[in-house]
Amino acid sequence: MNSARRSGAVDARLRMKDLCNETGLSRQAIHFYIQAGLLPEGDKTGRNMAWYGPVHVERLRLIRKLQEERLLPLKTIRALLAGDTEALPEAQRNLLAEVSSQLPSSVVATPARGLSVAEALARYDITTVELERMIELGMITASRTGTRRELTGDATRLLDLWSQFRAIGFSPERGFVVDDLVPFVTAVQDLVAHETQLLLTRLAHLPPAEVAPMIERALPLVQASLVHFHAAAVRAVFTAGRAARSNANPSE
């Protein structure tokens, strides 16, 4: 064993048997975690051959720690691992992690397995330029596994919505482009930042077990509120338009 291995470093390329040795888990357990969406697949080079790396070792060690030390069920671990709170201060990350550990996976679910860029282009009404623009703007993310460039699982919903916009006539010939979605992204980011601040300032004194069900029940109310305010604002615009037309043409 070389000095790097003795110091605890993990090789960049590991076979399944090496991954088992590094983590103390069986081959069957690792495959189960992959199928459950807790662990990304390895870089497949054949039907029964794949390479794994430090990311897999770190994720498996974390799963074991959460199971053994925190006694969390797998569906709760999956919900916790789906969160992205790295930009927050450590104390706030800890609070959100505690709350997240209490939420059901139906609220904070791991996206389904992604599809390749080639599959996305074939399945949805989107051009390469549009897809790359979505990636550039951060609306969806892409990763590379070997020669396969893969989109994250939650990208499929946006691509489906974009295809539906195209189908009802919002075409590039009429000037509609991916960048038209940016205000939606910005508005949602501002909303989530506001919600997070409320959580951290007004509910921090409560135990996570009490906060989690509050959030679970509030999410559909927030979404319904957004639909209400958006619909009301749209109605106001068209009502104002009709009123202006009536004033300009009183004989109508």
Q: How confident is the model at residue 86 (pLDDT cuts 50, 70, 90)?
A: low
* 33 and 74 inside one domain: yes
Q: Which residue has the higher pLDDT, 3 or 190?
A: 190
Instruction: Write down which residue in 164, 187, 205 finishes a domain.
Output: 205
Listed residue (191, 165, 168) closest to 180, CA to CA: 165
- Mean pLDDT, residues 150-171 taken together: 86
Q: How confident is the model at residue 218 (pLDDT cuts 50, 70, 90)?
A: confident
Choose the weakest-confidence range: 61-75, 83-97, 139-153: 83-97
Answer yes or no: is 43 within a domain.
Answer: yes
Triad 204, 102, 215: Cα angle to 5°: 60
Between CA 93 and CA 108 the distance in angstroms is 16
* 23 and 89 inside one domain: yes
Q: The domain containing residue 169 runs over which residues?
A: 111-205
* 95 and 164 inside one domain: no
Answer yes or no: is 214 within a domain.
Answer: no
Structure tokens at 56: 């897999």
Answer yes or no: is 250 within a domain.
Answer: no
Answer yes or no: is 140 within a domain.
Answer: yes
Percent of the chain with pLDDT over 70: 72
Here the CATH number for the domain that contains residue 128 is 1.10.1660
Instruction: Write down which residue in 163, 183, 205 finishes a domain.
Output: 205
Has residue 7 got a pLDDT over 50? no
* 133 and 94 inside one domain: no
Has residue 206 got a pLDDT over 90? no
Instruction: Write down which residue in 166, 188, 205 finishes a domain.
Output: 205
Q: How confident is the model at residue 169 (pLDDT cuts 50, 70, 90)?
A: very high
Has residue 123 got a pLDDT over 60? yes
User: How many distinct structural domains can be found in the chain?
Assistant: 2
- Mean pLDDT, residues 133-144 taken together: 87
* 132 and 187 inside one domain: yes
The model's pTM is 0.53
* 136 and 166 inside one domain: yes
Here the CATH number for the domain that contains residue 8 is 1.10.1660.10
Answer yes or no: is 237 within a domain.
Answer: no
* 90 and 131 inside one domain: no
